[in-house]
Every structure is written in structure tokens, then in C-alpha cells.
Amino acid sequence: MHRTRHVTRSSAPTLVAVAHGSRDPQALRTVLELLDLVRELRPGLDVRPGHIELNEPLLPATLARIGTGDAVLVPLLLGRGHHVRHDLPRAAAEAGALRTRIAAPLGPHPLLIETLHERLVEAGWRSEDGESRSAAVVLAAAGSRDPDSAADARRTARMLGDRLGGVPVLPAYASAATPTVPAAVRALAARGRHRVAVASYFTAPGRFATAAAAAAPGVAAAPLGAHPAMARLLLHRYDQALTGATHPRGALTRPHLLATA
């Protein structure tokens, strides 16, 4: 059976978990709780948070504190978009003597589907809902103008629909893309799908997650949050970046490299 190779603790680069940041104090607490789960899974690994905006520490400050050596930036972001394509590479390029590599965003991935499904069940989704012709799910995501980000959301929606036994899952967005969550709910109702649940495709609580939940006519799941599957996924992306599993060049280097799948 294939197993991902782990680097030894003494040589392991720092894992920098890059969160977007939010004015909601629950967002920072959730990120820190998630990183505690990562540390439990990989004792001895240096795991640090860095934020793109709104919360401390900001990513450049985190990289400056590491100073030298090697680090892997693991985006706590769910698809490709502006932050992954521009903000993270810029921060990595300005990291001075620190050698950096950028891991792939978290999604799409089956571990996200596992988390989304469990959050829906926690909120009241029942297995028999998957057999109802009136049931459907809206996958509420942040949104991006990047077409690859929308493609990632659509793929996640298809994977979640399969996990739910063929229930229609329609992606919707809080900003920068259409449809909005309320528009998606109306579109599903027009198709006779009146029992609509909202799956919160956000890593942590915040303004967008709150607005998406408020638009739910029925079950409204919590954000992905500090879930064991999320912690495993962070380490999976970290290990992929180190082993070159998703990139032809395996060595740590700067300029940064982006693991792509």
C-alpha cells in the first residue's frame, strides 16, 4: 500500500498555515484550534499561523520570525484564486533567506467532503433526506473572479452530491461570483426542491459564513472548522509539497513552487 513519506522531525520545514483572516473573533479561535489538531497528529512539527489580512500574525510577520531555513505555506483556502495565485507567491518571494514552497489549496479533496457531510449531519441532515425528490443542498462558498476557483467549487459540489446519494448540490457564492446563496435557493425551489440545506464551504466562521447560514430555509451547517479530517488534509498538502507528489520538482526552492492538485 502506498504511503506518503514524512520527513524526519529534525529536518522538517515549518508548516505555515495561511488563513484569510476575519473580524469575527471566532475565526481566529477556530484556526488556532485546527492547528492544535495538526500538532497532535504530527508531534514535534513546527506549525505556525499567518494571515493574509485582518488578524495577527500577518503572513509576512510569521515568515520574518522564522527567519531562515525551510517553510511550507499551506493555504487554508478551498480553491484556486487571487490569494493563492498572487498573495502567497508575493509573500514567499519577499521572505528573505527563508526557502519556501507553497502547497496546493485544500480543495477539492475527499477529506473536505467528509467534513462537509459531517457538518450537515450535525445540523440536522438525515440519511433519508437523500431519498427525497424535494431535497437539495446549496454549497455556500466565498466566491472569486478566477474561473479556476469556480471550477473547484463545482467539482466539490459534484463530489458532495455523490456523497449524499445523488442529491442535487448547487454551488453559490457570497461575493464576486453568481449565483448568490438566496438566488440558488430560489432556483432550486423553482425546480421543486423545497427542502434545501446550506453546506458552509468556509474554513472558519466569519461574515460570509453568517450571511450564508441566514439565507438557509432549512438546515444550515457550520463552517468546516477544527475537524480531524481538516487537520489530516493540512498535513496531506504539506507532505505533497515536500515530496513533489504534485510537482515535477521535489526540492525546496525559492522562487516558490506551487503544488497544483
Q: What is the mean pLDDT of residues 70-88?
A: 89
- Determine the pLDDT at residue 10: 53
Instruction: Using alpha carbons, list the distances in angstroms from residue 153 to 52, 58, 108, 138.
Output: 21, 26, 7, 11
Q: How confident is the model at residue 86 (pLDDT cuts 50, 70, 90)?
A: confident
CA distance 32 to 49: 8
Give CA–CA dist 79/261, Å, rounded. 10
C-alpha distance from residue 22 to each of 25, 48, 93 (Å): 7, 17, 24
What's the pLDDT tens digit per position in 14-25?
999 999 989 999
Phi-psi region of 47 (alpha: psi -120 to 50; beta: other; left: phi over 0): beta
**Taking Cα atoms as reference points, which of 96, 21, 18, 42 lies closest to residue 235?**
42
State mean pLDDT over 6-31. 86
Give 72's strand partners: 15, 101
Give the C-alpha separation, 95 to 75, whole Å: 16
Average pLDDT, the chain: 89
Does the pLDDT at position 251 exceed 70?
Answer: no
AA identity, residue 237: R
- Return the ∠ at Cα 144 (arms to 14 and 217), rounded to 5°: 105
- Residue 256 or 199, more confident: 199
Triad 111, 115, 119: Cα angle to 5°: 170
CA dihedral (146, 149, 155, 157) positive or negative: negative
DSSP label of 48 = E
Residue 104 has pLDDT above 60, yes or no: yes
Structural domains of the chain, with CATH: 9-107+226-243 (3.40.50.1400), 110-214 (3.40.50.1400)
CA distance 116 to 76: 15
Q: Average the pLDDT over each of 5-14, 85-94, 202-211 and give the range with the smallest value.
A: 5-14
From the number of C-beta atoms within 10 Å of its C-beta (0-12, 13-18, 19+), residue 246 rates as middle
